[in-house]
Amino acid sequence: MLPPAPQGATRSLTVTLDSVHLGWRRRGSHRVVDGLLSLIDRGGLQPEQPLPPERELARRFEVGRRHVRAALTALIDGGIVEIGPDGDPVVASTATDPSLAALVRTRRLLSA
């Protein structure tokens, strides 16, 4: 169900579809980020270990591959994931640093 339109506003099908689409995309990439951070936190992914392929991540988190790519970009920008020598994403060697882990957990709490 859509939220009510502001007083005096009219709804546009384009705006409504864009809003729903953008909200879903944001949640999809966040699901991937949260899932990968949890795997790293629990030791399911070790530093310098390659991440599973895009298709597998998309299937695991039930999102499209573009959401996986957006999540990987955010994790690379945040220093959690880096590009390995073969060009594939790997867990950064600093990803298990306790201060970084605390920062990531705090940020996840604030964005929830």
Read off the pLDDT of residues 37-84 as tens digits, 9 standing for 90 and up. 888 888 888 999 999 999 999 999 999 999 999 999 989 888 889 999
- For the chain, the structural domain boundaries read 47-112
- The CA distance from 5 to 15, in Å, is 11
Q: Indicate the pTM of the whole model.
A: 0.66
CATH 1.10.10.10 fits 47-112, yes or no: yes
The residues, any chain, with a CB within 8 Å of residue 47's CB and separated by 6 or more, are 91, 92, 93, 94, 95, 96
